[in-house]
A and B are shown apart, each in its own frame.
Chain A
């Protein structure tokens, strides 16, 4: 590559990240520490910690995060170990189904979970019909609904952990395990002494993502009517955003907490002591579990998967139910909700909006992500390490923080108000929000691909008379296509399911993305939940088709996608 254009591009990326990542955060943080007339103050932050309501919110957010992480870990670790080490009946299908929770926005899933586990839900109808009659059915979701929020988060987020752990297990040289076996270490001790420590970076990488996600989750507590948690308090605070600096202070606290966590996990496991595990010198042999053992493995795997599709099931049934109250199953089925949902003025535009927002954001991510990965992996430009950290940081920054920043910096009179324009069309700002937040996934998968692709392959092409640009197109891109598509796919589906940016940034009905449309429908009187479920099912179907289509396109490489 010629030097000058590369530098130009580097500068451009820094400019983009500066305007749409650093600046909005700065804007938010500044508001939190500036008194009305100007000048630094700690008054607002002090006020937050002085107010028991906000203190409780922060405590609940921490509980939500810790509970979600623990729950996801309990679900994901055994599954990842099982599928990394053994072959059992139905393994291919089951390990594909692990990804199913990703196709349903968790806050839609809450509708289904409430239908099944709520006080007047299906489970109580099955287990204790008498209790319902007496008016004191057990509440499976727990006092204050925190348990329900945690369960929902864990069920939705465990695939992220699963993919991380499975990837780190798959990259281990099987000889490392065999060497321990050979030196007299029985299987169970081998797990504790070799496998677990070596998988720790994967576990921690996944767990810190899940923790931050759980810490700042907005949709699920909102749908569970669980207002005493920081994210919902911030959301409620927007209504009075003009004058009230307290939401900003809350956002700043949330940001600091997330960043601290992220840095802690980097500090603990970011060092390269573990990186020497090396590539496998031979393919791992996964023994086939037979008979009882095999079916136990299959059964356990299937049970967890079934648990994870409980929300989907509930949502689907709700959307089809003519009436479903205090009963194990709906008393009758109807397609009326689908007709109603489709004919609702919000529905079709919101689907089109979501496609537009997520599609544009993904396109931006692929271009930016590939360029960043290329600069970081393949060049020796000064500033590439800074670029790398900057591009990965959105993972640690809660969506709420950024959404807040975007909102603030595009208000009338602010430097970026032209992005919304006089029509107040938030299209571009939403696209940018989606793109920035998902950029790390694309960068990470693209750089993994580049690192695994030897430079000498490119050099061989150039040696045979290929220009650097053409060698990128003809050699490198085809080789890392699977990685890029994986990253793009994650970016797209997370974009379609995005909640916090969508709820905060889209203010008018005609600009609603699908998630905000579902949220609004759910609040409608009468059959609101059924309508929202119907739309949720549409979203599910649509995302499944997307994932399936990519799977077909890629054939066997699909599995390798998430191992990048």
Chain B
């Protein structure tokens, strides 16, 4: 297992900047996620770690060892490809044995390792199958077994679940985490599915336009997004513009004036110290908003209920204020969903759930 350090990695493809001064440290044994919309550079970064691309600038270190110019076959990483990339001319067992043969392991040891790896992914009985006789989920397991059989220093996963159906995807999610933790392998996992990342990750790096926007545990990136784009990419967000009145005190509390009166909340970016009068943006999660009784308390939004969607485990409402801004509200386990009758409502939010960001 290695730790991976990425320093000032920059890469151009023609005139587009694919990686923009990326800096990251991935700890040994960590399950680390690269999360972002498609085209944000997450797969490019993964391919740099594997060695399929070399950066224009910057360094890549495995355990302090510089591997920036090392060819892929000498890096001892194992990548799980989105298309699985299982070789159709070899059977399941031969696919898994391939990397071990390349490492010149004795025959007997190869056989035990192949069996071990296949059993780990519950495919032990199918070693003689041809690749095109396997279902999508089975191919996925074989690809995982092939990667893990070589005991890689780092496991690289490129959207490994995107070709599976929804149910299988949920099942394999837990499976992958179980197996990775059992091996204790350093894993870098690329996905655009925030649920997958929140579910599995030790830490997440959110990427945007080739750069890292924020790194943190699932709870940190969800509860304390530092930018509006991170907030809206992970989970849903309502935004409310305002001006800072006071920012001080323990817990980095701050107060802002908005079209709906004063709001108290917390600053999410520890490096930011807004001055009174500075414009800010409040971020309110739909599930943090609650229908309130009194319209005159602080942290309250007034508007009309214009839409109501019943989804079983929750109900989604849309509330429009006088200025025409729409706020989305989620109510968990709704017994009597409110009708969309344009009635006057007020929404309150706890100061702990108001996230104050740069405008």
The prevalent SS among residues of A at the interface is helix
What residues of chain A lie closer than 8 Å to B102, measured between beta carbons? Answer: 180, 183-185, 189
Assess A273 versus B132: contact at CB under 8 Å? Given A183-B98, A278-B83, A281-B83.
yes
Assess A281 versus B88: contact at CB under 8 Å? Given A178-B52, A181-B73, A182-B73.
no
Task: With a 10 A CB-CB cut-off, give which of A173, A178, A179, A185 has the most chain B CB atoms.
Answer: A179
Contact pattern, A 193-227, Cβ under 8 Å of B = 1, otherwise 0: 11001101000000000000000000000000000
Indicate if B76 sits at the interface (CB-CB under 8 A). yes
Indicate if B146 sits at the interface (CB-CB under 8 A). yes
Indicate if A465 sits at the interface (CB-CB under 8 A). no
Closest to A196 in B: B89
Contact pattern, A 253-277, Cβ under 8 Å of B = 1, otherwise 0: 0000000000000000000111111
Structural contact, A197 and B98, CB atoms closer than 8 A: no
Structural contact, A173 and B146, CB atoms closer than 8 A: no
> Complex: how many Å from CA A184 to CA B71?
9
Structural contact, B87 and A194, CB atoms closer than 8 A: yes
> Complex: how many Å from CA A194 to CA B99?
12
Indicate if B78 sits at the interface (CB-CB under 8 A). yes
> Complex: how many Å from CA A189 to CA B103?
12
Structural contact, A197 and B89, CB atoms closer than 8 A: yes
What residues of chain B lie closer than 8 Å to A278, measured between beta carbons? Answer: 83, 88
Closest to A280 in B: B83
Assess A198 versus B150: contact at CB under 8 Å? Given A179-B79, A184-B74.
no
> Complex: how many Å from CA A285 to CA B44?
13
> Complex: how many Å from CA A186 to CA B104?
13
Closest to A197 in B: B89
Task: With a 10 A CB-CB cut-off, give which of A185, A193, A276 has the most chain B CB atoms.
Answer: A276
> Complex: how many Å from CA A272 to CA B103?
30
Structural contact, A181 and B85, CB atoms closer than 8 A: no
Structural contact, B73 and A281, CB atoms closer than 8 A: no
Structural contact, B85 and A184, CB atoms closer than 8 A: no
Q: How far is the CB of B128 from chain A (nearest CB, A)?
A: 13
Structural contact, B132 and A275, CB atoms closer than 8 A: yes
What residues of chain A lie closer than 8 Å to B103, measured between beta carbons? Answer: 184
Indicate if B72 sits at the interface (CB-CB under 8 A). yes
Structural contact, A173 and B85, CB atoms closer than 8 A: yes
Closest to A278 in B: B83
What residues of chain A lie closer than 8 Å to B81, measured between beta carbons? Answer: 175, 178-179, 281
Indicate if A176 sits at the interface (CB-CB under 8 A). yes
Assess A276 versus B131: contact at CB under 8 Å? Given A183-B99, A184-B103.
yes
Q: How far is the CB of A111 from chain B (nearest CB, A)?
A: 44
Q: How many B residues are at the interface, by size bracket?
A: 20 to 34
What residues of chain B lie closer than 8 Å to A274, measured between beta carbons? Answer: 88-89
Q: How far is the CB of B142 from chain A (nearest CB, A)?
A: 12
> Complex: how many Å from CA A278 to CA B76?
26
Structural contact, A180 and B130, CB atoms closer than 8 A: no
Contact pattern, B 72-112, Cβ under 8 Å of A = 1, otherwise 0: 11111111011101111100000000110011000000000
Q: How far is the CB of B82 from chain A (nearest CB, A)?
A: 6
> Complex: how many Å from CA A178 to CA B102?
14
What residues of chain A lie closer than 8 Å to B88, measured between beta carbons? Answer: 198, 273-278
> Complex: how many Å from CA A193 to CA B52?
19
Indicate if B267 sits at the interface (CB-CB under 8 A). no
CB neighbors of B among A134-161 (8 A): none
Assess A183 versus B146: contact at CB under 8 Å? Given A277-B88, A281-B83.
yes
Structural contact, B77 and A182, CB atoms closer than 8 A: yes
Closest to B81 in A: A175
Q: How far is the CB of B145 from chain A (nearest CB, A)?
A: 12
Structural contact, A179 and B74, CB atoms closer than 8 A: no
Assess A183 versus B132: contact at CB under 8 Å? Given A189-B102, A273-B89.
no
Task: With a 10 A CB-CB cut-off, give which of B71, B74, B76, B87 has the most chain A CB atoms.
Answer: B87
What residues of chain B lie closer than 8 Å to A194, measured between beta carbons? Answer: 87
Structural contact, A179 and B73, CB atoms closer than 8 A: no
CB neighbors of A among B46-66 (8 A): 50-52
Structural contact, A173 and B83, CB atoms closer than 8 A: yes
> Complex: how many Å from CA A189 to CA B99?
12
Contact pattern, A 164-180, Cβ under 8 Å of B = 1, otherwise 0: 00000000010110111
What residues of chain A lie closer than 8 Å to B150, measured between beta carbons? Answer: 183-184
Closest to B74 in A: A184
Structural contact, A272 and B132, CB atoms closer than 8 A: yes
Closest to A281 in B: B83
Closest to B88 in A: A276
Structural contact, A179 and B132, CB atoms closer than 8 A: no
> Complex: how many Å from CA A200 to CA B73?
24
Known: A186-B73, A189-B102, A275-B88. 12 other contacts (CB 8 A): A178-B50, A178-B52, A179-B81, A182-B79, A198-B89, A273-B89, A273-B132, A274-B89, A275-B132, A276-B88, A276-B130, A276-B131
7 interchain residue pairs of minimum CB distance: A183-B99, A276-B132, A276-B88, A175-B85, A281-B83, A179-B85, A184-B102
Spell out A's residues near B (CB within 8 Å): 173, 175-176, 178-186, 189, 193-194, 197-198, 200, 272-278, 281, 285
20 contacts between A and B (CB under 8 A): A173-B85, A175-B83, A178-B79, A179-B86, A179-B87, A180-B73, A180-B87, A180-B102, A181-B52, A182-B50, A182-B73, A183-B99, A184-B99, A185-B102, A186-B71, A197-B89, A198-B87, A274-B89, A276-B130, A277-B88
